[in-house]
Amino acid sequence: MQAEWQVSNALVVGYQKVIEEETRRQLEEAASTPKIEGPPTQAEQQAGQDSNKTQLVRKALAAHPGLTPAQVWGAVKGQIGKRTYVYSILKRLKDRDQIVVRRGKYYLPETPKITEGNEHQTLQ
């Protein structure tokens, strides 16, 4: 009985070594082959959609400067599902100084205009 156990134990150890070697080869092959790009993951899609929604809000503010949050929602409610998300976008843009708030209305920041003609450039 003990001899049979030793033989079966030796077989199991041998199989384990074969499995370990095969796993090591597969890992080496996986590391050396280039990754195949498949469809984007859900996180990548969400990041893309967030930037698109942010871009929608920016475009609405560029087309109609001085909108209140409710007016921004009215401009983009066909493309953005929830009203609260518009407020989140406005806060994010405000925190990043990408929009300016004056008296409760949102504006894109003004870029200084540089005029040429003088030796020194002046800001208007």
Q: What is the pLDDT of residues 12-59, one digit of tens each?
A: 999 999 999 998 888 887 777 665 565 666 666 666 665 688 888 888
Q: Are 99 and 105 in contact (CB under 8 A)?
A: no
pTM for this model (two decimals) = 0.50
Q: How many residues does the chain have?
A: 124
How much is the pLDDT for 9?
92
Buried b (16+ CB within 10 A) or exposed e, 10-40: eeeeeeeeeeeeeeeeeeeeeeeeeeeeeee
- State the chain's mean pLDDT as an integer: 79
